Amino acid sequence: MKYSLRQIIGLIIWWTEGTKAYKRKEYKNTWVYNIDVTNTNPEIIKLFLNFLRNDIGLDESRLRLQLQIHEGDNQEEIEKFWSKLTKISRNRFTKTIIRPAGNKTGKSRGTCKIRYSDKKKYLVLDSLLKDLLIQVIGA
C-alpha cells in the first residue's frame, strides 16, 4: 500500500504517543482496544484527529477527549480552547483531571487525550502501522 504524508504522520503519532491494546485484569483479562493519543502540543492532537477523521473514518459520537490540568489553571478557558481546536463538543469531554499546582500554573493548555473506542478501527490502525513499518524498515 502507498501511504499519503497525512497517513504516515498519523500512524507515527499513534505509534509514539498512543496507547496500545492491554488486558484489564479486573475484567477477567479482557482486552481493551482504545485508540488513544495524549499530548500537550495542539498541532500533534490536530494532526492525529485529521488523520482519524479523513483516513480511518469515525463515528464522531464515539470520540472522547480528556484533559489533565494543574490546580490554578483556568479549566473553563482550557476546555474551550481544546473544544474549538478539536471540534469536539465539551459534552463529549470526560472528567478533567486536576493535578497539584506545577511551576507553570496558568501558562499551560494542559495535556489532551483523544480516545476512540472501536476494536475494528484499532485493528485497522495496527495493521496499517505494521505494513508501514515493513515498507520502511523491513520490520
* 50-86 tens-digit pLDDT: 999 999 999 999 999 999 999 989 999 999 999 999 9
Q: What is the mean pLDDT of residues 101-122?
A: 85
Confidence check: pLDDT of 21 > 80: no
CB 99 within 8 A of CB 68: yes
Q: What is the mean pLDDT of the chain?
A: 91
pLDDT of residue 94: 96
Q: Give pTM, 2 decimals.
A: 0.88
Containing domain of residue 28, as a range? 5-137
How many structural domains comprise the chain? 1
Q: How far apart are CA 50 and CA 60, in angstroms?
A: 12
Q: How far apart are CA 88 and CA 91, in angstroms?
A: 8
Output DSSP code: residue 22: E
Confidence check: pLDDT of 97 > 90: yes
